Structure 1
């Protein structure tokens, strides 16, 4: 087995652990809105994990959610470390994933074209 598969597997485990945190409601910061974890990219040395999330809302709500997630990084890191057996605790970074919103926009535009063209 190659070592390239390990960061991907660890990323999936981290995604599941953070999803469980959100499901249980353990992130109680009121700034954090309803978010979905869309993926986790882990560095090859497993020391850095970039967590991608998506949400619907205004730009202000998205900014507030980012601030809330940044404030909760330490708690999330500690919980992920206890849930995923790793020798080194990865540093967690949160990044907004705009692909879901872009996909929704493209879908809406295609529906408009179908309506106008009579597909």
Structure 2
């Protein structure tokens, strides 16, 4: 039976917490204001980590924030090494999290289709004949 909390999952959560704190308190780049670390996925050898981030705002603002975070990855990695005391601190690769944006886009398409369908259906008159 596999262990309930393997090391990789614990490390993912721990790195996510530390990165959130480091980004909020250590970085001063205005492009990363309001960024949220959504997931961290550490490779099985613990040498690489993919970090997805999201941001409320336009897509170009999210791309700029990801570029700024990738530029500051060395400083963040150093901060992780100081705070986590790991043998190998993983290389950080930041990527935009577009799942929320895609979900909103699909929901908007569905809402539009429903309203268009309702506009094409003729209004049905309500009858006064109610069964007693």
TM-score range, shorter chain: 0.7 to 0.9
Contact persistence 2:52–2:94 (CA under 8 A): yes
Counterpart for residue 65 of structure 1: 65
Unaligned 5+ runs, structure 2: 119-132
Equivalent residue, structure 2, for 1:17: 18
Q: What is the alpha-carbon distance in structure 2 between the residues aligned to residue 97 and residue 56 of structure 1?
A: 11
Is the CA contact 2:54–2:62 (under 8 Å) kept in the aligned structure 1? no
Question: Using the alignment, how far apart are the partners of 1:104 and 1:54 within structure 2?
Answer: 13
Which aligned segments of 4 or more residues in structure 1 are displaced greater than 4 angstroms?
113-118
Q: What are the equivalent positions in structure 2 for 1:25-104 lying under 5 Å apart?
A: 25-104=25-104
Structure 1 distance, partners of 2:28, 2:48, is 24
Q: What TM-score do you get using the length of structure 1 for normalisation?
A: 0.81
Q: Secondary structure at the match of 1:45?
A: coil
- d(CA) in 2 for partners of 1:78 and 1:9? 20
Contact conserved, 1:31 with 1:68, CA < 8 A, in 2?
Answer: yes
Which structure has the higher relative contact order (CA within 8 Å, separation 6+)?
A: 1
Secondary structure in structure 2 of the residue aligned to 1:25: helix
Q: What is the CA distance between 1:64 and its match in structure 2? A: 1.7
What TM-score do you get using the length of structure 2 for normalisation? 0.74
Q: How well do the aligned residues superpose, as a CA RMSD in angstroms? A: 2.2
* Aligned residue pair count: 116
Q: Which structure's CA Rg is the greater one?
A: 2
Structure 1 residue 31: Cα displacement: 2.4
